[in-house]
Chain A
Amino acid sequence: DGGITQSPKYLFRKEGQNVTLSCEQNLNHDAMYWYRQDPGQGLRLIYYSQIVNDFQKGDIAEGYSVSREKKESFPLTVTSAQKNPTAFYLCASSSPVDSNQPQHFGDGTRLSIL
């Protein structure tokens, strides 16, 4: 079945540590996105990529980095510069050619500070 796989489901970060969240899709979508969700809040865009080897900052990119070396993969690194990383992280993908098509989401990664 086609879909988006995020791993791990739960992740713990120590102070000063960088951690990487994985996102893989087999939907053949060109565009991929990373969102952050805090308790009781909506989703906020961290980074997005509309094509391989290209990505753009979203509304809250500080303290995060991404890469897009393959169409299927869009990993997110939470760096030590992100002082409040505890949140639920969701990865999504879409086909930009069909603007009326929804973004498809993975099941998310919950990140906590140790």
Chain B
Amino acid sequence: AQKITQTQPGMFVQEKEAVTLDCTYDTSDQSYGLFWYKQPSSGEMIFLIYQGSYDEQNATEGRYSLNFQKARKSANLVISASQLGDSAMYFCAMRETGAGSYQLTFGKGTKLSVIP
């Protein structure tokens, strides 16, 4: 079974609108972390936001927020007031820390296109 599932291969959003990118995860660990990265066409991976499994508040970083629903094992990324520069691939990733490892497992990504 996939550990990280991103069900939206591609998404379109109008400039200045909000958009939600879905991510569900599968783990039996109690302690884990969830990350979102942005990958522009140039290829670099840009860290956006982090949510720990024990964090009670949803994480926010500027225009990015993470809608964390632990019981449903979902960690959706919300981008508010979309900008043309938000057009990129977005990857959800999980770090399971129970075994003392710090590896990340990535989903297959969602390609976001912002329309003027």
Neighbour of B47 across the interface among A45, A58, A104, CB < 8 A? A104
A99 touches B108 (CB 8 A): no
Neighbour of A42 across the interface among B33, B47, B97, B107, CB < 8 A? B107
Which residues on A sit within 8 Å (CB–CB) of B45? Answer: 43, 90, 92, 105
Q: Does A63 contact B (CB under 8 A)?
A: no
Q: Considering the chains assembled together, what is the distance between the CA atoms of A103 and B103 in angstroms?
A: 9
A43 touches B43 (CB 8 A): no
B102 touches A50 (CB 8 A): yes
Q: Does A53 contact B (CB under 8 A)?
A: no
B104 touches A41 (CB 8 A): no
| A57-114 CB contacts (< 8 Å) to partner B | 58, 88, 90, 92, 94, 96, 99-100, 102-108, 110
Write the chain B residue with the least CB distance to A92. B45
Q: Considering the chains assembled together, what is the distance between the CA atoms of A33 and B45 in angstroms?
A: 13
Q: Considering the chains assembled together, what is the distance between the CA atoms of A50 and B100 in angstroms?
A: 11
Q: Does B50 contact A (CB under 8 A)?
A: yes
Write the chain A residue with the least CB distance to B95. A99
Write the chain B residue with the least CB distance to A104. B47
A33 touches B103 (CB 8 A): yes
B102 touches A94 (CB 8 A): yes
Given that A90-B45, A107-B44 are known contacts, is A102 also in contact with B106, CB under 8 Å in the complex?
no
Q: Considering the chains assembled together, what is the distance between the CA atoms of A103 and B35 in angstroms?
A: 9
Write the chain B residue with the least CB distance to A88. B43
B106 touches A42 (CB 8 A): yes
| B37-80 CB contacts (< 8 Å) to partner A | 37, 42-45, 47, 50, 52
The 6 nearest A-B residue pairs measured at CB: A42-B106, A105-B45, A102-B47, A43-B106, A108-B43, A42-B108
A43-B104, A94-B102 known; 20 new pairs, CB 8 Å cut-off, are A35-B106, A40-B108, A41-B108, A42-B4, A42-B106, A50-B102, A58-B103, A88-B43, A90-B43, A90-B45, A99-B33, A99-B97, A100-B52, A102-B37, A102-B50, A103-B104, A106-B44, A107-B42, A108-B44, A110-B43
